[in-house]
Amino acid sequence: MKFIVSSASLLKGLQMIGGIINNVTTLPILENFLFEINSNKLTLTASDLETTFSTELKIESVENDKIALPAKLLLDTLKTFPDQPLTFLKTEKNTIEISANNGKYSVAYVDGNEYPIAAQITDSRTTVISSTILFSAINTTLFASGNDDLRPVMSGVFFQFDSESLKFVSTDAHKLVKYTRKDLKTNESAEFIMPKKPLQILKGILQNMNTEINIEYNETNAQFSFGNSILTCRLIDGKYPNYEAVIPKENPNQMNVNRIQFLDSVRRVSIFSNKTTYQISLKIAGAQLMISAEDFDYSNSAEERLDCDYNGDDIKIGFNSRFLIEMLNGLNCDEVKLSMSLPNRAGLLTPLDSIDEGEDITMLVMPVMLN
């Protein structure tokens, strides 16, 4: 086996798929990248059994072969090279010899036929979505997904497609985010829960991409195809909670406020909050919002006043400042609306500007009992 490939394009391809590989794995071969040579095409694959990510590169070769090479060793080496052609040659000593401009390097390989094959998606349905919309959906929802191993369905993002819209929902029972695209729809209704890890990898890749993403899915797996790359993952099994039931419909108390000013104030005041509860208090009366926090254990306290546009009864409500900060960070707008009903009912945070036509974002945050 012999092939020639650009070191820069090889590094780029391996870095893209490398996030799949776990630091600790029970299957040693998964610490390797799979190299599949088919004439002038090289397919690179990384897998952790749950998720498999492949991408294709053009190479100079006339052979067909399959080998697995150590991931960390390859990445560490390729990062040190300036862009140059690299020649990979299989030797009689069961090693791969890599020839660069200034040297030669030998790497032990594993037979590629031992590498696990990605799940084949049959009886599937397909939805096509632009990379910018999918990035927005993942970026807006992913932070609100849970980390509780006892409730795996809440550790991912719920994809809900129907004839009216595409919805993406995440919650950890303390906060909830619903991202809706009313300008996109599917002929057949479908629901599935995507795990966090493949979404984090997609988020990093899609950020600077402008292309169409082909999403293929069935009861157990989903596959995302774009350009020369395919990411396949196993879905989270289970029924997602009825999130619509927890979103309060009547919210007569509504405050509009500058997002950046609100975020900065919450950040500063929260430094003085109790480090167990991170509790801050919002007191809204007239056109003024008072944000305060107190840590009784250390006699620390802080208070800030902000101008706002408020309609409703005077209210005092407590929130976990970390959740508010995450939500305000997850929005790109200038102005936000905080809608409330009672101090013991959830508050709804929605952007007032900088959203696309057909885009709808609702963030729910549960209150905390004020001391």
Q: Is 345 exposed, middle or buried (0-12, 13-18, 19+ CB in 10 A)?
A: middle
Mean residue pLDDT of the chain comes to 95
Other Cβ atoms less than 10 A from the Cβ of 115: the count is 22
Looking at the whole model, is its pTM more than 0.85?
Answer: yes
pLDDT for 41-96, tens place per residue? 999 999 999 999 999 999 999 889 999 999 999 999 999 999 999 999 999 888 99
pLDDT for 280-293, tens place per residue? 999 999 899 999 99
Angle of helix 196-206 relative to helix 131-141, nearest 10 degrees, comes to 130
Question: Where do runs of H (alpha helix) occur along the chain?
Answer: 7-18, 71-78, 131-141, 196-206, 259-270, 321-329
Q: In angstroms, rounded to a whole number, what is the distance separating the alpha carbons of residues 71 and 56?
A: 17
| Pairing assessment for the beta strands 359-365 and 367-368 based on DSSP bridges | unpaired
Strand spans (E) along 296-371: 300-307, 309-311, 315-320, 335-340, 347-351, 359-365, 367-368
pLDDT for 264-277, tens place per residue? 999 999 999 999 99
Structural domains for the chain:
2-114 (3.10.150.10), 125-245 (3.10.150.10), 248-368 (3.10.150.10)
pLDDT band at 208 (very low <50, low <70, confident <90, very high): confident
Q: What residues contact 208, with CB distance under 8 A and at least 6 apart?
A: none
